[in-house]
Amino acid sequence: MSTVETSQIKQKKQPKNPLFSCTVFRYFTISTSVPRLIAGGMLTLLLVTLVLMHTASFMDPTLLSGRLLYGLSLAACAILGVLTMLRWGVNTQSVAAGISCGVAALLPIVAMTMAECLNGVFTWDWTPQTLMLNYILYLVLYGLVFVFCGRFRLPLLVVNSAVFALALTNFYVMLYRGTPFVPMDFFAASTAANVMAAYDFAFNYQVVIAIILLVFLTVAAWKLRTPDFKSLGKLAGRVFCGTLSVCVICIYCFTDLYAESGLKPDFWNQARGYSKTGVVMNFCLNTKYIFPQKPSGYQAGTIEGIITDPVEGTVTEELGITGTPVTPAKTPNIICIMNESLADLSVLGDVQTNIEYMPYLNSLTENTIRGNLYVPVIGSGTSNTEFEFLTGLSTGFFPAGSNAYSLYIKDPLPSLTSILEGQSFSSLAFHPYYASGWNRIAVYNHFGFDRFLSLSSVIPNSILTQYSASGFSTSVLQDLVEEIHPGEGVLIRRYVSDSYDYKAVIQQYEKRDKSKPFYLFNVTMQNHGGYTEHASNFDEQVFLTGMPAGAELAEGKNVYTAFPKTNQYLSLMKYSDEAFAQLIAYFEQQEEPTIICMFGDHQPSIEKAYVRALLGASDLNNLSIQQEMQRHVTPFYIWANYDIPEETVDALSVNYLSSYVLKTAGVELPAFNRYLLKLSETLPVISSVGYMDAEGNMYKNGSSSPYSALLKEYEHVTYNYMFDKQNRDESLYTILP
């Protein structure tokens, strides 16, 4: 090597007093020092301890390659320790530049592996096209940061950390909600924070491997040296990265080129999309669909004709209730209860238990309309079901994964509340949890509720403050509440029980303004997810005794110990059943006519293995339309303390339910609700999953069918109702006072 060439090399600053230093293959210098040895040793110790602490997760008999992953993880810990201990120097500028660029080009593959490990997917299972598209996306993300710093290290550190955070968030959201983490979830961050204390965020082998990979990426990035290009070369690199990134983003945001080539979210099944094409890819793809666009062909002038023209005959005929309705002499009170996670798992398959878990609800027939309710969400997303009930709109026309309460309701909006208030009802919303959840304070105000009572109306703020300070300890909350409400059964686990919730409903009924009919909308909390915590105030009475036909348990497991979440959930259903029986018993004795509508907001997040067994499915990401629809079924009940025609409804989506309640109560219906009742005769189910006709034929959203024109009309009505405020005729959607 010439003296001139040597002088052009920008050497790294060598450590003072290295413990040893040697040259390898003429171009490489390896050295270390005592601090580096200590740092490498400590890192190895910490990572090995992490792996050993989660040995059981690696050795789970259902994990076929667990032992191999366990061995590789321990080996990786040692390798990372060695990499940290050693300092590598390159004695030739051209070789150094080539190595740096080569390593930088390979690290996105490691980052993808880290993210998809948490997604339960191996990147080598992807198609080559999917792998290449993800690789390009990661390069675009790195390039965006590189534009501002002009160095390799910072983009790798920033982007890889962000990818890990996104993948880890998606891992836990999928674990407890059953659906992926999408951009719209940022708008519900405060609600998520309120319920996090109920969940167990323990690590498993996936999290451990992802942490090891993140450490590797961090060590590699820290050691990576940016090639010492001339000023013009640096500028050209940054301009190229910036131009490429801007072009890719602009083409995606402002054209349909990617979507037309098939690069778009799997709106029908987001979990399947995340599995097939990656966490980061799908999260980015979803950003385009946060806010809905005006439907093609939409014209505000056609809305009145759509709503009013199809409606013929009397409202009773539209509803299709058998028998002769009995109209009470006085306008009935209306109590609507959306019961958290209330579901009958037998709609999925053969549930075998030691005792019945919903005996009263299953026996409720007199003066009752009951049936299967199709809701838009599974395991979480409560407020979307609530939104559909209170408005009559379907979230199936909104971007997949979006949340109406958090994103779209910024101004007064017609609702069940405004319909009843227009007919002189008093109105009250009651939810025994934090008022801020799902933006309810603002939303209920826009819906027109007179009052909103939340958790602080049941448990004093002073106790809630102590509960928060304790790190959300269930036992602390139980003790504090028991001091002020001894023996009253206020809580089950950490949530207000249905029994006490209904006592509060009765209390508000007794305090009502008796000069007006009373309307109350109640969202319960007892059955909220997080079915892993055992509590002294909760006696688990129900447990599984057998598996569905054809389903088998893993070796060494029994049905009781294999599905503790399901056992706890079924026991909660038993408590809900008993509480509702007490509520009905009270109103049976009341002279004032009263209607109570109670329905479940979604099915629970229980063990996926048990859900698969019930459905007879091998993969919940590849269900048929019929199986996917089954997962969105909860029960509904409309009961009255006076004679109404009994009916069992095989299938009804929640957007129609409030219209059924209004018809049953005999109050005046706006044109929109009459339109919904007529539409329900042809399409009784329109949901975020798909739709079903009166003969039971099911169709995926977006697929062609004989009902495409009807759906397009409903979509236009939804857009006018929800987003086209300037051209919305309020008289079509509500009863004006």
Give the three-class secondary structure for 407. helix
Query: DSSP characters for 502-548?
Result: HHHHHHHHHTS-TTS-EEEEEE--TT-S-TT---TT------EEEPP
Tokens of 519: 């309307």
Q: Say what the pLDDT of residue 615 is.
A: 92
DSSP annotation of 289: G
Size of the chain, expressed as the number of residues it contains: 737
Alpha-carbon gap, residue 59 to 67, rounded angstroms: 6
Q: How far apart, in Å, do the first and last CA atoms of the chain sit?
A: 92
Tokens of 308: 């009013």
Cβ atoms 525, 504 nearer than 8 A: no
Indicate the domain borders of the chain.
3-32+86-289, 321-733
**Tokens 């009559």, residue located:** 392
**Parallel/antiparallel/unpaired status of strands 28-32 and 20-24:** antiparallel
Residue 705 CB partners (closer than 8 Å, separation 6+): 691, 699
Cβ atoms 119, 173 nearer than 8 A: no
Instruction: Please state the separation of Cα 208 from the chain's center in Å.
Output: 24
Between the CA of residue 673 and those of 363, 667, 669, what are the distances in Å?
30, 12, 6
Q: Say what the pLDDT of residue 251 is.
A: 75
Residue 433 CB partners (closer than 8 Å, separation 6+): 194, 454, 455, 495, 496, 523, 525
Q: Say what the pLDDT of residue 574 is.
A: 97
Q: Which residue(s) pair with 600 in the sheet?
A: 339
Query: DSSP characters for 560-622?
Result: HHH-HHHHHHHHHHHHHHHHHHHHHHHHHT-SS-EEEEEEES------HHHHHHHHT-S-TTS
CATH classification of 321-733, choosing from 1.20.1440.230, 3.40.720.10, 3.40.50.620, 1.10.3720.10? Answer: 3.40.720.10
Cβ atoms 616, 361 nearer than 8 A: no
Sites in the chain below the pLDDT cut of 50: 1-13, 311-324
Alpha-carbon gap, residue 591 to 641, rounded angstroms: 8
Q: Say what the pLDDT of residue 319 is.
A: 40
Instruction: Please state the separation of Cα 83 from the chain's center in Å.
Output: 40
Tokens of 525: 């909390």
Cβ atoms 374, 694 nearer than 8 A: no
**Parallel/antiparallel/unpaired status of strands 647-653 and 368-374:** parallel
Tokens of 435: 């008022």
Alpha-carbon gap, residue 609 to 620, rounded angstroms: 9
Residue 650: closest CA among 346, 372, 345: 372
